[in-house]
Structure 1
Amino acid sequence: MSMNILILSFYYPPDLSAGSFRTKALVNSLVKDSDKKVTVTVLTTQPSRYQSYTPAASSVEISEAVTVRRIAVGARCGGFLGQAILFSQYAKEVIKFIKGKEYDVVFATSSRMMTATLGSFVARKLNIKLFLDLRDLFIDALPDVFPMRVGCLAAWSLRFLERWTVTKAQSVNLASPGFVNYFKSQYPNMPFTVHTNGIDDIFIENPLLQSKPASTKLNILYAGNIGMGQGLHHIIPQLAAKLSEQAKFTVIGCGSAITQLKSALSQHSVTNVEIIEPVRRTDLIKYYQNADVLFLHLNDMPSLKNVIPSKLFEYAATEKPILGGLSGFSAEFASNNITNIGIFNPCDVESALTALQKLHIGVTDRRDFVSKFSRKQIIKKMANVLLQET
């Protein structure tokens, strides 16, 4: 028995994104772990998440049973309007590509609902089954990022689009248990699964370096997106200023709020923070190995209380101490599953200083966590749902 699967993912390696790494792992599992003959077509974009990180990638990449087609989109620009323009380019080419094609199922992974909605359209157009992977509560976030009246109106309007999208699916996976209450209340008869993000083999297989004595200053590292959701401009400048004699900060990444971060650093006359453009994961491991503390932060927004940041899994695998500004479900998940993590209230400098003082600066054995949250094992379960129900 054979199965022809179409996968929609706006990001895909070599692009840097939680969705990119998640989709790649799923593709590998579908091809390698199935008893069926599986062929997979991935429709994605040319690397586009960061203007400063655009590695070369073939527009068509064929390897055994997998074909990856990368759609060229324009240069990334800020804000929802800019993202909508890029997505419209992607969606237009996807719709053009599927004409006359035959698939058994379409799988769409989405953080802001747009790719999921495109998946629903494709499934209806081709009259095939739809499987969704939802990595965020997009509608919940709108009142946080827009003025209250505008955000609430947008959320009310888009809820109809969400319903049109979700109710078409045969199965919907949620990337955080914190999303379950919302989706179950909205769609009580829909089948939902929960498969979180996880730890990729590149971090599991990387040899652990023994703890090195801290230098005269702690090396505190943040690596990831620099957007409004992370709110780094609300915490790092003030925290770094307080720790000017005790620590230096390295921030690796880019994003929509990097200008605010640089402005806040200048405003507080901070000299112990270095910002580095995004780097490949193989290079990122070296930064992890040289760090004394790994830093994580989610902005103080109600919509972020239900997420589990994907970076948390990666950080934990290094067995380095973690300083995390978390609240709600993410704080509960971290405190219950990760040892040697100092959790503080988001955007609260004094709380962060107290949490830092309680950390053990050295290697912490987290083998149980790594075993439980191996990406390969999590994705294999997710792939099995797709394969068994098709």
Structure 2
Amino acid sequence: MHKVLIISYYWPPAGGPGVQRWLKFVKYLPEFDIHPVIYIPKNPKYPITDSSLIKEIPKNVTVYKNEIFEPYTYAGFLSKTKTKQISSGVISDDNPSFLEKILLWIRGNMFIPDARKYWVRPSVRFLTDIIKKEQIDTIITTGPPHSLHLIGLELKKILDVKWLADFRDPWTSIGYHSKLRLTKASEKKHRELEKKVANGCDKLLVTSNTTKVEFESITTKPVYVITNGYDIPESDLPFSGMDKKFTLSHIGSLLTGRNPENLWKVLSEIISENKDFKNAFQLNLIGVVGQDVLNCINDNGLKFYTRLKNYVTHEEAVNYQRRSQLLLLAEIDSPYTRGIIPGKLFEYLAAKRPILAIGPEDWEGGEIVKNTNSGFVCNYNSLSDLKAVILKWFHLYQQGNLMVSSVNIQEYNRRTLTAKLAELL
């Protein structure tokens, strides 16, 4: 059986979308005669944890751990909340505080490419022996954090190994990169490292066609797209059936840039005009919600109809998706986010509930919704068409006939996606 070493920062009990991609690949790779060996930090500081994911780790997988120095531990003395947010890539758009500006400057200029850079040298020393011992000829690095690609870069130099660099998110072209208050020298350093990684690996793996095009502009190495996906629900929580209310649910962070103001206006308008809708509607926001988003919701008179719940386990999130009448997908309205395909989109597809997708023009996430016939896609300026589709769905809900006839979603099944990865390996 062919062995591959997967170098990842995120691994259960880490929570959030970052852990899902390689946890699922590891689950299915043995079916294609590939044995994954995992390398992760021994003492990470995860911004979100979800212990329910631990049971998804295959019992026969080999996991190596090594100590990591985490500067965020000390930054937390200034502000644990802000440090966690910046560590997760969650950065305020509106009037950041003086403290946040300091933390952003430190993050962007003192820790290049990121604060996990201090794990690179110890990991190279540690893994050199492991690779020889396990007789591994292929390594995979997955980022962010993109400092992990520097581990691959060094191992490639000193060992006769193949190296696949997986980018779950872009590096210098991701939206929050421009908010790091970088000096010109720091910006140059980021781009130099990105180019070294892109040209030093044997193959690049990305999650969207937009990111593929971006990397093809800086490297001649082959770039492949394997999106994120969905797995068959394995939740231990019983499915209690569809919500009785006409629920519109968003699962995940809903922060400043993802505030669909026209949606709140439309919902408020329908509530004022339609008594049946008023009595039936409920907005579920599952996860972190920005204060400006809440203010906008409240300003449109929707506070009474809104149910808030902080971060839930992945199992609970799957159940919220399956029982909601409608699912809300929102992406930041910016050219920089056209290639961002939220991981929850694929689980929305598996839930087979109508998706209301709001995002930028030419958004790849929206194209997937359209191509799979899984819902309705609009931009942040939509009003009349947004109102029309919500009323159409409400009418179907009243008839007990609200459903979605999606097509071609099987290509996003985690087993199918792992088959593509196995072919690359």
Q: Would you call these one fold, judging by a TM-score over 0.5?
A: yes
State the SS of the aligned residue for 1:87. Answer: helix
Native 8 Å contact 2:366 2:377 kept in 1: no
How has the CA–CA distance of structure 1 residues 355 and 233 changed in structure 2, closer, same or farther, with 3 Å as cutoff? closer
Q: 1:31: Cα distance to partner? A: 2.6
Q: Which has the larger radius of gyration?
A: 2
For residue 212 of structure 2, what is the aligned residue in structure 1?
A: 180
Give the structure 2 partner of residue 199 of structure 1. 230
Number of the residue aligned with 2:408: 369
Indicate the RMSD between aligned Cα atoms, in angstroms: 3.8
| Aligned-residue offset at 1:182 | 2.0
Which residue number in structure 1 is paired with residue 258 of structure 2? 231
CA contact (8 A) 1:108 1:119 kept: yes
Alignment map for 1:291-302 (pairs within 5 Å):
291-302=324-335
Instruction: Map Cα deviations across residues 301-357 of structure 1 (whole Å, 9 max, x no partner).
Output: 111112322221110111111111023132552354222411111375666434433
* Counterpart contact for 2:120–2:150, Cα < 8 Å: no
Q: 1 CA distance for matches of 2:27 and 2:63? A: 12
How far has the Cα of 1:161 moved from its partner? 1.1
C-alpha distance in structure 2 between counterparts of 1:331 and 1:77, whole Å: 27
Q: Distance in 2 between matches of 1:152 and 1:329?
A: 30
Give the one of 312, 317, 322 matched to 2:345: 312
Aligned residue identity for 1:196? T
Q: Distance in 2 between matches of 1:277 and 1:47?
A: 22
Aligned positions, number: 371
Greater Cα shift, 20-29 or 70-79 = 70-79
Kept in 2, the 8 Å contact 1:203–1:318? The answer is no
Which of 273, 279, 282 lines up with 1:248 in the alignment?
A: 282
**After the TM superposition, which residues 1-390 of structure 1 pair with which residues of structure 2 at under 5 Å, given as runs?**
3-34=2-33, 38=35, 40-44=37-41, 48-51=45-48, 53=49, 55=51, 63-67=59-63, 69=65, 74=73, 77-79=84-86, 81=104, 87-88=116-117, 90-91=119-120, 94-95=123-124, 97-98=126-127, 100-102=129-131, 103-111=136-144, 113-142=146-175, 145-146=178-179, 156-187=188-219, 189-202=220-233, 215=245, 218-227=246-255, 231-232=258-259, 238=265, 241-242=268-269, 245=278, 247-254=281-288, 258-265=290-297, 270-271=302-303, 272-327=305-360, 328-330=362-364, 333-346=367-380, 352-359=386-393, 361=397, 362-366=402-406, 368-386=407-425
Deviates more, 1:287-296 or 1:85-94: 85-94
CA distance in structure 2 between the partners assigned to 1:357 and 1:251 by the alignment: 21
Query: What are the ranges of 5 or more consecutive residues in structure 1 without an aligned counterpart?
Result: none
Partner Cα separation in structure 2 for residue 154 and residue 351 of structure 1: 45
Residue number in structure 1 paired with 2:80? none
Q: C-alpha offsets along residues 167-199 of structure 1, whole Å, 9 cap, x if unaligned?
A: 111111121122232222322x31122211112
Following superposition, the deviation at residue 30 of structure 1 comes to 2.9
Conserved? CA contact 1:12–1:24, under 8 Å: yes
Q: CA deviation at 1:295?
A: 0.3
Partner Cα separation in structure 2 for residue 308 and residue 114 of structure 1: 22
* Percent of pairs with identical residues: 17
Q: TM-score, normalised by structure 2?
A: 0.73
Q: 1:122 to 1:357 in 2, by over 3 A?
A: farther
* Equivalent pair of 2:208/2:226 in contact (CA under 8 Å): yes
Q: Flag the 1:289–1:29 CA change in 2: closer, same or farther, 3 A.
A: closer
Unaligned runs of 5+ in 2: 77-82, 90-103, 272-277
Distance of aligned partners of 1:54 and 1:289 in 2 relative to their CA distance in 1, 3 Å threshold: closer
- Residues 375 and 4 (structure 1 numbering): CA distance in 2 closer, same or farther, change over 3 Å? closer
Could you say what secondary structure the match of 1:249 adopts?
A: strand
CA distance in 2, matches of 1:142, 1:242: 32
